[in-house]
Chains A and B, each alone.
Chain A
Amino acid sequence: MTHPKRRFWGGLSIFAFAMIAALAPASADDLDFSERLKPETFTLKNGMQVVVIPDHRVPVVTHMVWFKVGAADEAVGKSGLAHLLEHLMSSGTQKLKPREFSQIVARNGGQRNAFTSYDYTAYFQRIAIDRLPLMMEMQADLMANLTMSEEKVASEKNVVLEERSFRVENNPAAILNNEVNAALFRNQHYGLPVIGWRHEIEGLTREDALNWYRTYYAPNNAILVVAGDITAEELKPLAKKYYGKLKRHKVPARLRAEEAEPLAAVRIEMKDVRVKQPSFQRAYLAPSARTGEGREAEALEVLAYILGGSNNSRLYKQLVITDRAAAGVRVYYGSTAVNDTDLTISATPTHSGDMDALERAIDKEVARLLTEGVSEDEVAKAVKTLKGDAIYALDSQSNLANQFGRELATGGTIKNVLEWPQRLSAVTAEDVNAIAGKVLQPQRSVTGWLLPEEAAR
């Protein structure tokens, strides 16, 4: 019950990053976020950052604790450890018997879950506002006093291995995706699957899990995000009471390697008897909001949108409507990452399944973009649509909580989030063309083909 794939969360940021929203979408210049979204933040004495996102429509809150640690922080040979600990985080304390945390949340009409990504691990409950103190008390207890038996660790490892079968091994497209990532990120841990390699999951121990927990689950490495029917003034005494008593301790700095400039295009072809319909993906190594310079990340968001963000995009029009080389095509870019990330083109050939024609058509369209560039008009339209779409993000308190949590857990700031529309508005055709020229280069890419295994039939 976790979502370990970065794309499921980070990939949403093309539109969802924005939450902040405009008053009048027609006039992009007078956005007034302060009218719609008023996040407040403060930091407890032990270093735990707190963010409150008021939404008073219904008396419900989303309570989240984010830790600035994820799969990309794992030591060599220990892939899957961040995710395994996430599974074990409800295993109990001196006060909470195993199962009791889940039971108490449910008995109080709440829902709980957790997720792990490369750069963060997060735990949340959605519940009626008057139950919030109870959630905070239990989450704080789990943060400091976690216990786990050998039996529980062994059993949960089996659950995780079943999860791996379910998410990856039963799904040829997911296997290919892992292989593409492994080839694209050669020097940083984004190349490892968040859920871990099977043989390494099997080797993880209770001691590994406890070490991980003791090392990284400190208040000074955590962010509390509460969205819903509450104000900072109301939350402050509760945060102090429950989380304020946790002791800070030194947490190792994130040791992250930089990618070397790639020098060779990589191709991966995977054949599998289970494949009935071929598919194509090409990932380009791309800067993230953290590693990009100036407006590079925003320009990449605009580029992804113009190239393949919708059924009105360049690739869709050319490949799907005009050439009839593809049944569908999309481009994804998620900017929220500590290290360099990827911009990925995914496509499915038409019923006839001609992958060569599909790739040629993609190459041609990418080449056209690089030689002719995008126009100011295209950029203006894309910016307007992306900002307009961002208003919808205001409708969901859990979405808002996720946006802020993700941003802060990857080293960003609240200001970053709030100023996203202005930064997006500032993007010019020149910005987009410059970043396209830098990123859409064959030697920065890994191309993956998923094909049926005819020979084995």
Chain B
Amino acid sequence: MRALMKTFCLSLMVVFAALSTAPTVNAREVSKSPSGQINVQRVVSPGGIEAWLVEEHSIPIISFDFAFQGGAYLDLSGKEGTANLLAALLDEGAGEYDSQAFRSLIEENSISLSFSAGKDSLTGSLQTLTANKDLAFELARLAVNEPRFDKEPVERIRGQVLVGIKRAEMNPNSVASKELFSRLFPGDPYGRSVEGTAESLVGISAKDLRAYRAAALTRDRLKVGVVGDITAEQLGALLDKTFGALPDQGAPLQMTPVAASNEGASVVIEMKNPQSTVIFAGPSIAREDPDFIPTYVLNYTLGGGGFSSRLLHEVREKRGLTYSIYTYTLPFDRSAIWVGQVASDNGKISETLQVVRDEITKMRAEGVTAEELEDAKRYLTGAFPLRFTSNASIASQLLGYQMSGYGIDYINERNAKIEAVTLEDVKRAAQRLPSPDEITFVIVGEPEGIE
């Protein structure tokens, strides 16, 4: 064991919000302190690779999540779907192991290794029992560094992606989402499908996959989040072993911001469904913008929170027009949108969408009440610790915060940022919500009463 590795051990508290009022019940019935502690360590390997680590030795498992910035954004024009196809092939044969040998090793040792591509990144997720960790990390190393792209798995997985694209054409949510992005981001990589198209997929060769891997999987674009039965020192050595051979740097990523379209529209795509499925979205605020957190808080009240939002109350509880309605802010690396989803039977969707428009207009004009703001803060701060109840979910949080550009102290500061939001902040953020006229509504079904 080497002592060269630098470990910055930041002891972070996740404060399990001590909420001021607990109606009718004395919280002291449970003597436990309502605060818990999660120690996030910043580990830097001897070779200089950084990871955030939470040690958890009570269960003999390790969750290891990592991602490379870039993802489908880096797909060449005409070769859309390259990152996605690559992700599906990294665990289909590497080094001396062909696809079946590789899959057998994974499975017989209860290892889980998978990759996926998104609009901005390519993500890997490794889970292993402690007893098998050396093998597990060796397989991850091979997948990242020496994927084979043999003919059989390439054609098989390409076929599966093609079938997936056809299946998605039957799914009203997929159809609506695809149309929405192409309208919000015309001409930008964000407007394309991560999976590519039937035409583009056919043109992707093993050579293209190798070229993508060599250019995109570089150490400067890598972030790592780890939770489980592993020490900082052990992790340091495994980080070097797994990623040490990757190039230090890739070509600079052109991170030019792009604004989502605010032209607004109601687009109907005919599908013989009894219920119309709607996804709507408009431009929103970037993560770095000071109004990002106020927008997040506002969204809870408008359409975010479980059974408590205005939209759920108005559309579902009061009128019985839908089973589910929700909205969320969706930040990307180069843009941000505010998105909502709802479905109502064809004869009712027009009424539903009118309520949605009215609620957005009302929110923009009036913001939220003091009571609503207090409710939002209590939920958002109180429920934050629920994200930290399993190794797998903590690892995913640690990775997510790094990919969002947050510092290691984010977990500590996050609730204070929510608490600091004022009614004025929310009012300002509300005015920056897209107006109904700036929102693109994509409606899939046979809606009645929609122009």
**Residue ranges of A at the interface with B (Cβ–Cβ < 8 Å):** 1, 21, 23-26, 36, 57-60, 90, 99, 102-104, 106-113, 126-134, 137, 154-163, 165-166, 169-173, 228-230, 234, 237-238, 273-277, 310-312, 317, 320-321, 324, 327-328, 348, 350-351, 381, 384-385, 388-389, 391-392, 394-398
Contacts and interface: CB of A to CB of B under 8 A. Distances in A.
A351 B163 contact: yes
Given A59-B35, A106-B306, A170-B277, A99 B61 contact: no
B381 interface: yes
A86 to B, nearest CB: 13
Given A276-B166, A312-B100, A395 B108 contact: no
Interface string B159-189: 1101100110111100000000000000000
A275 B166 CA distance: 9
Most buried by A among B59, B100, B109: B59
B160 A155 contact: no
B272 A162 contact: no
A192 B170 CA distance: 25
Interface residues of B, number: 88
B320 A156 contact: yes
A36 B57 CA distance: 11
A237 B26 CA distance: 14
A350 B100 contact: no
Interface string B30-66: 1111111010000000000000000010111101000
A13 to B, nearest CB: 17
B385 A58 contact: yes
Nearest to B106: A312
15 contacts: A130-B34, A159-B316, A162-B275, A170-B273, A234-B30, A238-B30, A277-B169, A321-B99, A328-B160, A328-B163, A350-B159, A350-B163, A389-B110, A391-B60, A397-B390
A276 B170 CA distance: 6
Given A23-B60, A106-B308, A157-B320, A395 B271 contact: no
B131 interface: yes
A113 B445 CA distance: 29
Contact of B388 (A58, A163, A350): A58
Contacts of A60: 16, 36, 385-386, 389
B34 A129 contact: yes
B100 A317 contact: yes
Contact of B25 (A134, A312, A397): A134
B248 to A, nearest CB: 34
Given A312-B100, A394-B59, A133 B30 contact: yes
Most buried by B among A21, A162, A394: A162
B307 A1 contact: yes
A289 to B, nearest CB: 23
B307 A102 contact: yes
Interface string B73-90: 000000000000000000
Contacts, number: 246
B323 A162 contact: yes
Interface of B: 16-17, 19, 21-27, 29-36, 38, 56, 58-61, 63, 99-100, 103-104, 107-110, 112, 127, 129, 131-132, 152, 156, 159-160, 162-163, 166-167, 169-172, 271-275, 277, 305-308, 313, 316-324, 343-345, 375, 378-379, 381-386, 388-392, 445
B170 A274 contact: yes
Contacts of B104: 312
Nearest to A60: B389
A161 B265 CA distance: 29
A102 B320 CA distance: 17
Contacts of B317: 99, 155
Given A60-B16, A321-B99, 6 more contacts: A25-B132, A57-B389, A130-B32, A155-B317, A162-B344, A392-B112
Given A26-B131, A57-B56, A162-B275, A109 B306 contact: no
A159 B306 CA distance: 15
Top 7 A-B residue pairs of the complex, sorted by shortest distance between their CB atoms: A109-B382, A388-B110, A158-B320, A165-B275, A102-B307, A163-B323, A155-B320
B131 A58 contact: no
A319 to B, nearest CB: 11
A321 B152 contact: yes
A128 B389 contact: no
B390 A321 contact: no
Given A109-B382, A276-B166, A321-B100, A385 B107 contact: yes
